[in-house]
Amino acid sequence: MALLTTTGAGILLPEEVNDLVVVPVTRRSVAYQVSTVVVIGSNSYRIPILAEDPSASFVAEGAEIPADDADIDELEVTPKKCAALSTISRELASDTINPGAQDMIGEALARDSAKVIDRAFFGTTTPNGPSGLKSLTGVAEIDAGSLTNLDAFAEGQSMAETVGAATSFWVASPATALQLGQLKEATGSNRPLLQPDPTKPGRRLIHGVPLLVSEAVDDFTVWGIPQAFSFVVQAQEATLDVSTDAFFTSDKVAVKTTLRVAFGWPHKEAIVKIEHGGS
């Protein structure tokens, strides 16, 4: 199916927009990969926060059970609009013969959207967008010093476990991932400290936890993400709009996508931030 009819109007159905916009972004965005993704049909999403567990106790048979109210708060997450605009030739937009034409368009727009989403996720506060990991206070922080071993990662996993969580993914910049990949078991050894992931060739593990790479992460920083306590909240409606007017003189077609997303971390203490000074 072409993006254009003879009148220039878009004729994609909602499920086709999802395949062209949402699915490629989900596949490319590291934020989506390391988080629990929630799709909502409302304006915002409320994540319950259990600030203090209720107290259980042993009681005698037939005796009254002591009442202890749980201390529950909530985190409200409101998705923000992420938009991407690209131009393509009129021939490609009208292509009904090449089955990969639409996929090419979707992938190009998804690359831009995924980069913007990941920069927001691993950043501070994005203008007109959501707040990211760097804006959080109270995360578990570790100064690894010179990066010569993986002890800081074992410490980070332990810190997450102490607060009732588990580190699901480590995420580093390409430069930091290279430094980690070059660490050896011992002086004079060629065996790397990082373990291969038998389920996904090419992916590496640190103490059994997958290491992912994102250009959105600062060099000398590694994030430990507990997937159960990291949320990407996405509004249900994604749009793809086509215009033949904006670039009339060059006979190009403008293709615009919008996707509304935001992030939530209801258990900040479970997030690990490792900083190091190189190797």
User: Taking the domains of the chain in order of start, what are their residue ranges?
Assistant: 14-50+65-276
Point out which residues pair with 260 in neighbouring strands: 81
Does residue 45 surpass a pLDDT of 80? yes
pLDDT at residue 266 in the model:
94
Which tokens sit at 63? 């005796």
Confidence of residue 102 (pLDDT cuts 50, 70, 90): low
Question: CA 172 to CA 211: how far, in whole Å?
Answer: 7
pLDDT at 179: 92
For range 77-100, the mean pLDDT: 74
pLDDT at residue 11, rounded to an integer? 43
What pLDDT shows up at residue 168? 98
Residue 164: CA count within 13 A, CB half-sphere: 8
Long-range contacts of 146-152 (CB under 8 A, 24+ apart): 146/276, 146/277, 146/278, 146/279, 147/176, 147/179, 147/180, 147/183, 147/276, 147/277, 147/278, 147/279, 148/183, 148/279, 149/183, 149/193, 150/180, 150/183, 150/193, 150/206, 150/207, 152/274, 152/276
Q: What is the rounded CA–CA span in Å between residue 72 and residue 21?
A: 36
**pLDDT tens for residues 135-188?**
999 999 999 998 889 999 999 999 999 999 999 999 999 999 999 999 888 777
Residue type, 118: D
Which superfamily, per CATH, for 14-50+65-276? hypothetical protein PF0899 domain (3.30.2320.10)
